[in-house]
Amino acid sequence: MNDLLTVAISSRALFDLDESNRVYEEEGLEAYRRYQIANEDQPLAPGEGYSLVKKLLNINELLGKSRVDVILLSRNSADTGLRIFNSIQAHGLNISRAAFCGGLPPYRYVKAFRSDLFLSTQAEDVQQALAHGIAAATLLARPAIMTTGADVGELRIAFDGDAVLFSDESEQVFQQQGLDAFSAHERAKATQALEGGPFRAFLAALHSLQSEFAAEQCPIRTALVTARGAPAHERVIRTLRAWDVRLDESLFLGGMDKTEFLRAFGADIFFDDQPVHWERASAAVAAGHVPSGVTNR
């Protein structure tokens, strides 16, 4: 059994590579290679997934042992990837494992590294990882968003429910038959636990990591931020009980926009399956699109 929480992340999700990518798109691969070599001693600025990685790795320091492993997966070659490794060292990130794939999709190595989560700016890589049973999400390729409302050392992760933590069974009813049918369906099945979605195992791994700290000293805080409201709340609560997994906060918003709630929570990252919620949330916090479930078919 792997006792590490392992997160694989692409170089563009970890660092701000916008200028490098502009050179590649406008001038081609050889110009990109020369640019990266010429600047390989200039550390890259943090990208959207940086805060999550920084705080995850800090957990090892707090525990005094290795419980979190971060893997770099990149479409760069090792030659152009030297700047990325130099940037990792400059930012003091304890990342030693990497796959530089020379232009080919790196998702092929997600399972071999036993990853619990894969973050990338390439939607097709994320879809492939999900298809192989790995929790995965697409981040925007942009500079880091600095959130407010959370202690600098505390990691705060927020999840949508249906098609992320849970299966899309109930979402299918809502999409096909509307809100009244959805509410009736959830009332009728209130005591029947939902099947797990693509992020169930990742949540369980986080919960296991939380259990290694005293409750008042835990540096990880999780939240469910869902459009569900009463009476659809009961099934969610009973499902989490059945899984024996704790969420620190649960927000049942009854269809309200999630953005300000995520800002108030101080999320380092939020995972949602619906592009409209992902795009809105991205204005306030780092957000990952999980292309699973009926809304993405």
Could you list the active site residues?
A: 160
Enumerate the H helices of 110-189 as residue ranges: 123-131, 169-177, 179-188
By the 10 Å C-beta count (0-12 exposed, 13-18 middle, 19+ buried), 76 is classed as: buried
Q: 231: cis peptide before it, omega within 30°?
A: yes
The structure tokens listed for 39 are 């600047």
Residue 273's φ and ψ, nearest 5 degrees, are -85, -20
d(CA 80, CA 74): 10
- CA distances (Å), origin 199, targets 54, 165, 202, 230, 292: 21, 5, 5, 23, 10
